[in-house]
Amino acid sequence: MAAEPDADRAAARSGHIPVFLERTIELFRPVVEAAVEEDRQPVLVDGTLGLGGHTSHLLAEFETLRVLGVDRDPDALEMATRRLIAYRERFTPVHARFDDFDAVVAALPEDSRDGVGPTIDGILLDFGVSSMQLDVADRGFAYSVDAPLDMRMDPTTGPTAADILADYSRDELARIFRVYGEERFARQIASAIVRRRESDPLRTSTELVELLYDTIPQGARRTGGHPGKRVFQALRIEVNAELEAVENAVPGYLDLLRLGGRAVFMSYHSLEDKIVKRELSTRTASRTPAGLPVELPGHGPEFAAVTRGAEKASPTEIDHNPRSASVRVRCVRRIDGRTP
């Protein structure tokens, strides 16, 4: 096992601690060992590269591993690439949303194929927001710091949170606050935003937080945590079409996995985890019609669960890294070969 890379000492100093790190390494170990036995280099896609915490440790641990690091945030991608300079022969940065399969497949090594076509040995999708995005004030993700209401993971494209607050109808705003933020005062907040923007549209995080304090009843604020938490989460999900990306990514990457390949999904929101759980339930179930006494050839499950349900962070990890408190980790491996 290689020593801890300098990149991660720097990341630790900046507050970036990879979630479920040791368990992630162990979940992918059989994939790497199988590839070595087959005399080939394994290829893993880190679809949510962020600052490269998981990838740097995986590359340090497995000397034959190649990683494609995908991120829609050009600043995060540049920082991660600099941190991973020691592994430049085995690391390929890809500027794309994690469900942009054309970009991912185009970046795969030419020899990463099976009898069906381009394929990968592993996929890691950590759906949490990058520490850099939360910690850099001017990105507008944090409700505790005054900044423009941007919230775009890729700041080069798409509408901002301020645009959504200015353009969406009251019903549309209420829906995203209720569904994505599980905010029980969603309609009241949406109505307040619509009234406010008639004279002075919301432009900064402080302005939005002040409106929330004025709208949410004081009694509810005493027990419901910071009033900005749920609304900011909902806006971030809407701005970045996060659930749409998850819906596309989970089945898409499962289809790319070669026989024996593994997928690790890390969810932090119940809606993300429901998407993952639903797809994995389908893929790990028999495809033989109900009522038949035997399994039909070619109709068995495509995947087998590696984790029992969703694994959660230990109290020790949560104490060391509070951002791991809400993570739910699921892993499956392909047990049936791909079909054209």
Mean pLDDT, all residues of the chain: 89
Residue 171: its H or E element: helix 170-181
Q: Categorize the per-residue pLDDT at 17 as very low, low, confident or very high, splitting at 50, 70 and 90.
A: confident
Domains and CATH numbers, the chain: 1-46+65-94+111-130+241-277 (3.40.50), 141-239 (1.10.150.170)
Residue from 8, 157, 180 nearest 72 by CA = 157
Q: Is residue 6 very low, low, confident or very high in pLDDT (cuts 50, 70, 90)? A: very low
What mean pLDDT is predicted for residues 50-64? 96
User: Are 264 and 123 contacting, i.e. CB atoms less than 8 angstroms apart?
Assistant: yes
The Cβ of residue 200 has, within 10 Å, a number of other Cβ atoms equal to: 8
Q: Can you say whether the dihedral through the CA atoms of 67, 70, 76, 82 is positive or negative?
A: positive
Residue 52 marked ligand-binding: yes
Nearest to 172 by CA among 156, 201, 193: 193
Q: What is the pTM of this model?
A: 0.87
Give the pLDDT band of residue 317 (cuts 50, 70, 90). very high
- pLDDT, residue 136, reads 57
Q: Which residue has the higher pLDDT, 275 or 8?
A: 275
Task: Give yes or no for residue 69 having a pLDDT over 90.
Answer: yes
Over residues 127-173, the pLDDT tens digits come to: 977 655 555 556 667 777 889 999 998 888 889 999 999 999 999 99
9 pLDDT more than 50: no
CA dihedral 136, 139, 141, 147 (to 10 degrees): 100
Query: Which of 166, 186, 276, 192 lies closest to 233, judged by CA?
Result: 186
Kindly report, residue by residue over 34-44, the tens digit of the pLDDT.
Answer: 999 999 999 99
What is the average per-residue pLDDT within 190-194?
98
Residue 53 marked ligand-binding: yes
Report residue 321's pLDDT band, with 50, 70 and 90 as the boundaries: confident
> Is 126 annotated in some ligand binding site?
yes
Cβ contact 53:8 at 8 Å? yes
pLDDT at res. 2: 42
Residue 219 to residue 276: CA distance in whole angstroms? 35
Q: What is the pLDDT of residues 214-245, one digit of tens each?
A: 999 887 777 767 888 899 999 999 999 999 99
Closest listed residue to residue 261, CA positions, set 19, 35, 26: 35
**Is residue 71 a known part of a binding site?**
yes
Give percent of the chain above pLDDT 70.
91
